[in-house]
Structure 1
Amino acid sequence: MTAASPITRSDLADLLAFYASAGVDDALEDAPVNRFAEAAPKPAERTPMAAAPARENVQQQPPSAPSRPDMSRLPDAPPARAPAGAATVPDEAQAALARQLAATASTLEQLRQHMAAFDGCNLKFTAKNLVFADGNPNADLMLVGEAPGRDEDLEGLPFVGRSGRLLDRMLAAIGLDRTSAYIANVIPWRPPGNRTPTPHETEICRPFIERQIELVNPKVLVNLGGPSAKTLLNTTEGILRLRGNWRVHTTASGTAIPAMPTLHPAYLLRTPAHKKLAWRDFLEVKAKLRALT
């Protein structure tokens, strides 16, 4: 057998890049621990296995059925409880509480405080920060994505990583920036490992983003990506069929806001050929803003 080749700096860089993409951004201990070495018993600790019984002595007697205890004499078992501090999947009571808290928020700051204190969504227990919004709440344009990523979770602001830098360039292309737009997400907490939020997690957060849109009251809404469009426009169509076509988002108070579904910047980073489609969508947004002001 040949000796294992030494780990190079390039190997370590690739490993760290893999950890970062998988959402591993915290060390549990100061020194690395080889769990495989811990699990393997030392040679001195291994005990010989007991000799198997002779075949002729096996199954001499047919096994008897185990006797069942008299359940009438047993005390009632206590209900099972989740471990203290364990994150649980939100139930309908928590969804109702989210709707109540969102409805009672009269300002964006009050809504942010309600969301920061809300413990009904299990994503809060794995995220580092509440990612509420960025930009100008008095802007005519509001953009809504799906959920924060690693960079957004660390900084507590939406769209600050590679996708955010591309979004800034897309806004600049139509003469806007973060001082003339308001940016938020459907989900305000980062899902572990950047996984897709579950339908239950989306529903628990829906009242908050809908109230956020209602309080901002933009003249134009842009849905960045399929999940945002499906959630806020109540549709099941894919984003490639939705994009480029004006839809309407109706708030709880009955205000109809023109909405443009378009491709998410993260998708455009993976599929640069479709940037031309997003460019057409943003030209439509620019024209709509000009017509409404």
Structure 2
Amino acid sequence: MKTSGISYVAGRSQVIQDNAISASTPREAMAVGERPEASVTTLEQIRAELGDCQRCRLGRTRTTLVFGTGNPDADIVFVGEAPGRDEDIKGEPFVGKAGQLLTRIIQAIDLSREDVYICNVIKCRPPENRNPLPEEIESCEPFLLKQVEAIQPKVICALGKFAAQTLLKTEAPISTLRGRFHDYHGIPLMPTYHPAYLLRNPDMKRQVWEDIQKIQKKLVK
């Protein structure tokens, strides 16, 4: 049976694939401890303010700062945790196997990566993909908020436990957060499972499809 672009096979959704788009390029360095300026209003200005960011220790170990890619006027913003190895090398979010699955999920609601905006809470890869530290979150999260304010999307989709818990300031598990909208600075936010988690647990694709369908309905209102 096929429903809105996702075909269910043995109880799991199968979705189609697309290519990523390029990331913004880095600018001049900013000092440790500097905070975002209130006057920044566009993605280009936010990227320039980040510069060759050294606000936390991740600036010393990363290969590339991964700012975000997509439509600056997108109706939906997808937010993940942090860049992985592939993203750190290429400078774009979600370009590995998890990114390929995210692309297919996006296409399942009749959109492309060029239609949406994709970024992470943390802009630099934590060494060995460890969990981000509190001071790293404190340094990066204000820039994510500025990105959201610049784009003014209709909906945010938080991908995975870390992104959902960070944006919603909660320790509740993703299993209880997903499936319903929450408020993030006046914008509806839907948490769902991270594509990397789906690669390890494909039986959870149906729950993600349920969440994505709710997002799709919200977008057409």
TM-score norm. by structure 1 comes to: 0.63
2:218 aligns to what?
288
The verdict on how the C-alpha distance between 1:102 and 1:151 changes in structure 2, with shifts beyond 3 A counting, is farther
Is the 2:41–2:146 contact (alpha carbons within 8 Å) kept by the matching residues of 1?
no
Query: Do structure 1's residue 237 and structure 2's residue 172 form an aligned pair?
Result: yes
Structure 1 Cα separation of the partners of residues 41 and 74 of structure 2: 18
Matches within 5 A, 1:88-237: 94=33, 97-98=34-35, 101-237=36-172
1:278 aligns to what?
208
Moved over 3 A (4+): none
SS at match of 1:223: strand
Query: How far has the Cα of 1:102 moved from its partner?
Result: 4.4
Query: How far has the Cα of 1:287 moved from its partner?
Result: 0.6
Structure 1 Cα separation of the partners of residues 216 and 44 of structure 2: 29
Structure 1 Cα separation of the partners of residues 208 and 45 of structure 2: 34
Return the letter of the residue paired with 2:207: L
Structure 2 Cα separation of the partners of residues 153 and 118 of structure 1: 14
Indicate which of 253, 257, 282 corresponds to 2:187: 257
SS at match of 2:198: helix
Query: How far has the Cα of 1:235 moved from its partner?
Result: 1.7
Query: How far has the Cα of 1:113 moved from its partner?
Result: 1.3
- Structure 1 or 2: more strand by fraction: 2
Query: How far has the Cα of 1:118 moved from its partner?
Result: 3.0
Is the 2:52–2:65 contact (alpha carbons within 8 Å) kept by the matching residues of 1?
no
- Structure 1 or 2: more helix by fraction: 1
Greater CA radius of gyration, 1 or 2? 1
CA RMSD in angstroms comes to 1.4
Query: How far has the Cα of 1:106 moved from its partner?
Result: 2.4
Structure 2 spans left out of the alignment, 5+ residues: 1-30
Query: How far has the Cα of 1:273 moved from its partner?
Result: 0.8
Structure 1 spans left out of the alignment, 5+ residues: 1-89, 251-255
Query: How far has the Cα of 1:140 moved from its partner?
Result: 0.5
Aligned residue pair count: 191
Q: Residue deviations 1:10-57, cap 9 Å, x none?
A: xxxxxxxxxxxxxxxxxxxxxxxxxxxxxxxxxxxxxxxxxxxxxxxx
The verdict on how the C-alpha distance between 1:102 and 1:142 changes in structure 2, with shifts beyond 3 A counting, is farther
The verdict on how the C-alpha distance between 1:145 and 1:270 changes in structure 2, with shifts beyond 3 A counting, is same
